[in-house]
């Protein structure tokens, strides 16, 4: 397997990185669901098992291009993605689900000076404002373009931009909601943030779980693809004690809470050979589902649709072209709109003779197929990933 001697692991700093063969032939997608060309480079660390892109000149040029037109949740007019709330059984905004879980830990102070790193236009800060009434809320972003929208949030204090080292000190809580995987130097970013926290400061990180979601590998602007173990390893090295690392708060994601520490405890390691084999298998699986979907689409003379309007569905639609007639979604902010030139339908509005391909991670696909089974149309899922 080809080696990459020019870059070191972003988790353990080893230079033993192995490129994933065939990944560069896969078209990609951006984290705001826009098609992106192939030729990405993906590697596995053969020392610690961490999965990562290479932060080379090409990657920096690509993220510059992506962020120049970036628009999160564009289809829903900025409304945050809905996820299944396991308690209620109904879709809810992701930040609201996570803030309820954090509140239930009973470790977060009633009054706190808070920083949300990668705050965007404030979806997480807005949920914090509703859940933690006495928190002073601050944001960090690359630019100040969303500042006026952030100032409308109850309890909002200040938006910080520029280098992380220029931040003031003494934040009691720092959150990173789907932002750590974008940082060119995640270890250095966490080290700096640990120095900006109060002595018992708490860190909350939410990222995709590559163990459960192979589609995350396709996101061009995601530099890191974390597993619970690789994320814990990185956070521990950066000077934090892990308090909890959950994979069930939101399916396909990792929710980690840590406390600032002054010592380092090495977490359990991964088997790099097994990780490398699994990631290579997932790359093959991603390629195979395009072929599977093409075969399925060819079996209907009526209409073929894709379930979902997020990363996986957008990526698959880009590969199938005009074979896709519509999208299916349960999100009320998206239903009734046009997406990629096609209508977004509620499941009840799909015609009985249609076939709908569930472009979902394996951890969710069978469950959603069962949930949709009372509709007359046919829901199809891919074979299990490797």
The C-alpha atoms of residue 119 and residue 176 are separated, in whole angstroms, by 8
Please state, for a pLDDT cut of 70, what percent of the chain lies above it.
92
CATH architecture for residues 1-270: 3-Layer(aba) Sandwich (3.40)
Residue extent(s) of CATH 3.40.50.20 domains in the chain? 293-380
Query: Above 70 in pLDDT, residue 113?
Result: yes
Dump pLDDT digits (tens) for 277-335.
999 999 999 999 999 999 999 988 779 999 999 999 999 999 999 999 999 999 898 99
* Alpha helix positions (H), the chain: 57-68, 94-105, 123-131, 147-151, 186-195, 228-237, 272-297, 311-320, 362-371
Confidence at residue 87, expressed as pLDDT on a 0 to 100 scale: 65
3-state SS class at 255: strand
3-state SS class at 192: helix
Query: Above 90 in pLDDT, residue 383?
Result: no
Residue extent(s) of CATH 3.40.50.150 domains in the chain? 1-270
Confidence at residue 353, expressed as pLDDT on a 0 to 100 scale: 94
Dump pLDDT digits (tens) for 143-181.
999 999 999 999 999 999 999 999 998 999 999 999 999
User: Residue 194 corresponds to which tokens in the numbers above?
Assistant: 């640990």
**Residue whose entry in the numeric block shows the structure tokens 């977004």:** 344
User: Residue 165 corresponds to which tokens in the numbers above?
Assistant: 């080292």
User: pTM of the prediction?
Assistant: 0.92
The sheet carrying 342-345 orders its strands as 338-339, 342-345, 326-328, 304-307, 355-358, 378-380
The C-alpha atoms of residue 73 and residue 150 are separated, in whole angstroms, by 16
DSSP string, 267-324: PPPP-HHHHHHHHHHHHHHHHHHHHHHHHHHTT-SS-EEEE-SSHHHHHHHHHHGGG-
46-60, 83-97, 206-220, 312-326: least confident range:
83-97
| Residues counted in the chain | 386
Confidence at residue 3, expressed as pLDDT on a 0 to 100 scale: 43
Q: CATH number of 293-380: 1.50.10.100, 1.20.150.20, 3.20.20.150, 3.40.50.20?
A: 3.40.50.20
The C-alpha atoms of residue 264 and residue 140 are separated, in whole angstroms, by 27
With contact defined as beta carbons under 8 Å apart, do 263 and 224 qualify?
Answer: no
Confidence at residue 266, expressed as pLDDT on a 0 to 100 scale: 67
Confidence at residue 2, expressed as pLDDT on a 0 to 100 scale: 45
Dump pLDDT digits (tens) for 65-90.
999 988 875 565 556 777 766 666 66
> Taking every pair of C-alpha atoms in the chain, what is the biggest distance, in angstroms?
64
Q: Measure Cα distances from 340 to 31, 198, 216, 321, 355 in Å.
A: 16, 46, 20, 10, 19
**Residue whose entry in the numeric block shows the structure tokens 């009840």:** 348
Residue 180 — left, alpha, or beta (φ > 0 → left; ψ -120 to 50 → alpha)? Answer: alpha
Q: Quote the mean pLDDT of the chain.
A: 91
């Amino acid at each position: 397997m080809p080696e990459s001697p020019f870059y070191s692991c972003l988790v353990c700093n080893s230079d033993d990185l192995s490129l994933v063969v065939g990944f560069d032939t896969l078209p990609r997608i951006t984290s705001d669901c826009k098609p992106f060309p192939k030729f990405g480079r993906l590697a596995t660390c053969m020392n610690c098992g961490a999965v990562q892109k290479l932060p080379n000149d090409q990657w920096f040029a690509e993220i510059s291009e992506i962020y120049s037109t970036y628009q999160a949740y564009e289809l829903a007019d900025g409304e945050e993605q809905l996820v299944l709330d396991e308690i209620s059984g109904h879709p809810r905004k992701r930040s609201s689900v996570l803030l309820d879980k954090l509140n239930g830990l009973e470790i977060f102070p009633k009054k706190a000076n808070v920083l949300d790193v990668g705050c965007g236009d404030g979806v997480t800060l807005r949920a914090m404002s509703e859940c933690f009434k006495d928190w002073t809320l601050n944001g960090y972003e690359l630019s100040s373009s969303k500042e006026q929208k952030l100032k409308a949030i109850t309890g909002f204090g200040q938006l910080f931009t520029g280098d992380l080292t220029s931040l003031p000190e003494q934040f009691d809580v720092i959150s990173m909601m789907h932002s750590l995987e974008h940082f060119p130097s995640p270890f250095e970013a966490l080290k700096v943030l640990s120095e900006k926290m109060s002595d018992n400061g708490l860190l909350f990180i939410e990222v995709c779980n590559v163990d459960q979601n192979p589609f995350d590998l396709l996101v061009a602007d995601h530099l890191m693809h974390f597993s619970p173990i690789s994320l814990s390893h990185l956070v521990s090295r950066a000077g934090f004690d892990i308090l909890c690392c959950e994979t069930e708060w939101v399916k396909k994601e990792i929710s980690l809470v840590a406390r600032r520490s002054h010592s380092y405890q090495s977490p359990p390691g991964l088997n790099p050979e097994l990780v490398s084999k699994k990631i290579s298998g997932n790359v093959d699986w991603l390629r195979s589902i395009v072929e599977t979907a093409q075969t399925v689409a060819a079996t209907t003379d009526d209409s073929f649709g894709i379930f979902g309007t997020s990363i996986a569905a957008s990526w698959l639609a880009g590969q199938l072209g005009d074979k896709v007639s519509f999208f299916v979604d349960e999100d009320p902010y998206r239903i009734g709109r046009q997406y990629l030139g096609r209508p977004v339908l509620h499941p009840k509005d799909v015609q009985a003779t249609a076939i709908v391909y569930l472009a979902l991670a394996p951890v969710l696909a069978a469950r959603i197929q069962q949930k949709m089974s009372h509709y007359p149309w046919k829901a199809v899922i891919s074979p299990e990933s490797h």
